[in-house]
């Protein structure tokens, strides 16, 4: 099914706005890392990562409730302005305490805007075009992850550490302005009244995912996958520069090859079939492919051999991202999608935080090469154990006529 003219216009506008925001965030993050690195302590970088991630987990229950009972456009306009002001503050005040504190405040806003945008996209595109719209969004996010660090480094070298933050603030402000130009809106349904939502437990989003026979094995597989991938990301710099004696440029190219792969995978995913069985199968197959590629990387003897396998891993990861978001979207009733997306973001973010912590601990015991082998094997093994449960559940849903 194709978009209407109005749908196509709004999806393209959202892709442009989200792409600019992702790029601004990636540029700003480089500046913040370079600001805190001279402190000479790894704790500052770790604290920055926690400040940027923890609010997304802690505020997820509240954020999901708000997203499901507030008109999306109004909320996103106000949040964009709030995020822009906070980002200007981060650019202006350079102290460590101010940087970490304002970063946490900024993340509080993002904890609401992320599920807000995620729930709005399928409302604009319609259920028949979820994979197509998510393909575009994931592609612009992947492109920003590739270009952002390069532009951030260049901009810091040219203008200092404040202007990248001001650029990010501008991207938030443009997002706020752009939200007013959307023709579609996501408005709360009658069942999402203040009284009805307030009567639900704050963990209703997590409960929604966990009580679903299809989503439960899928989310566990995704979390194991993210944990394994995150641990290998921590080990990557040591594997490339110390084990294989690669240069800083070669290390950068490893990340770029994965990022380019995710963009290609996301673009390819617009062709995904949107049945629950097909989406579950696509997700599980691509997780296995990523696991195998990561495990093989742990066997190579030269950096140059990493690039093709990292590109394959990125390609499969890009498809997996779109398949997972599409699956969760179609499986969740529209009035509950804000709570579902907030819970999904919290659970995946928690996996990433755990991966950063576990990565440092694992590297004290295992060699970087072994970490890649174990991490790849764990991703593939999670599918072997949990994949049949997801496929059986998706087949039962299809048989009951609840597919999509």
pLDDT tens-digit map of 293-341: 999 999 999 999 999 999 999 999 999 999 999 999 999 989 899 999 9
With a threshold of 0.75, does the pTM exceed it?
A: yes
Give me the CATH number covering residue 314: 1.20.1250.20
Closest CA to 271 of 311, 319, 315: 319
Mind giving me the DSSP string for 109-161? HHHHHHHHHHHHHHHHH-GGGHHHHHHHHHHHHHHHHHHHHHHHHHHHHHH-S
Residues 195 and 216 in one domain: no
Residues 167 and 253 in one domain: no
Range of the domain at 22: 1-199
* Among 170, 199, 228, residue at a domain's last position: 199
pLDDT tens-place string over residues 130-166: 999 999 999 999 899 889 888 888 888 888 889 999 9
3-state secondary structure (DSSP) of residue 300: coil
Confidence label for 193 from pLDDT (cuts 50, 70 and 90): low
Residues 15 and 163 in one domain: yes
- Report yes or no: 296 and 376 within 8 Å, Cβ to Cβ: yes
Residues 189 and 207 in one domain: no
Residues 35 and 181 in one domain: yes
- The pLDDT score that the predictor gives to residue 42 is 60
pLDDT tens-place string over residues 285-305: 999 999 999 999 999 999 999
Residues 192 and 224 in one domain: no
- The pLDDT score that the predictor gives to residue 228 is 86
* Among 147, 181, 199, residue at a domain's last position: 199
């Amino acid at each position: 099914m194709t978009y209407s003219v109005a749908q196509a216009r709004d999806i393209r506008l959202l892709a442009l706005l989200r792409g600019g925001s992702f790029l601004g965030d990636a540029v700003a993050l480089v500046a913040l890392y370079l600001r805190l690195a001279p402190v000479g302590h790894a704790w500052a970088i770790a604290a920055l990562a926690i400040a940027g991630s923890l609010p997304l987990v802690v505020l997820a229950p509240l954020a999901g409730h708000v997203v499901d009972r507030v008109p999306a456009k109004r909320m996103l306009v106000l949040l964009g302005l709030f995020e822009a002001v906070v980002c200007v503050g981060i650019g202006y005040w350079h102290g460590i305490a101010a940087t970490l504190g304002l970063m946490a405040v900024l993340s509080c806003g993002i904890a609401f805007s992320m599920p807000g945008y995620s729930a709005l996209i399928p409302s604009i595109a319609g259920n028949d075009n979820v994979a197509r719209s998510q393909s575009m969004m994931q592609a612009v996010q992947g492109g920003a992850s590739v270009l952002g660090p390069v532009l951030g480094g260049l901009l810091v070298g040219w203008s200092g550490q404040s202007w990248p933050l001001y650029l990010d603030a501008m991207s938030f402000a443009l997002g706020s302005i752009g939200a007013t130009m959307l023709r579609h809106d996501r408005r709360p349904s009658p069942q999402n009244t203040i009284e009805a939502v307030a009567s639900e437990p704050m963990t209703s989003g997590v409960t929604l995912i966990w009580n679903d026979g299809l989503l439960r094995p899928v989310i566990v597989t995704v979390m194991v996958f993210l944990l394994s991938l995150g641990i290998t990301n921590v080990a990557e710099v040591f594997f490339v520069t110390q084990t294989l004696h690669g240069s800083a440029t070669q290390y950068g190219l490893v990340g770029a090859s994965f990022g380019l792969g995710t963009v290609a995978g996301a673009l390819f995913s617009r062709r995904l079939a949107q049945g629950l069985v097909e989406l579950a199968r696509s997700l599980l197959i691509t997780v296995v492919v990523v696991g195998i590629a990561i495990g093989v990387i742990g066997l190579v003897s030269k950096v140059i051999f990493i690039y093709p396998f990292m590109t394959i891993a990125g390609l499969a990861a890009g498809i997996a991202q779109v398949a997972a978001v599409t699956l969760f979207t179609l499986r969740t009733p529209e009035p509950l999608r804000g709570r579902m997306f907030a819970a999904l973001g919290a659970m995946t973010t928690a996996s990433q935080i755990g991966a950063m912590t576990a990565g440092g601990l694992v590297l004290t015991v295992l060699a970087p090469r072994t970490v890649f082998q174990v991490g790849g094997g764990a991703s593939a093994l999670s599918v072997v154990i949990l994949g049949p449960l997801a496929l059986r559940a998706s087949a039962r849903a299809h048989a009951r006529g609840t597919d999509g």
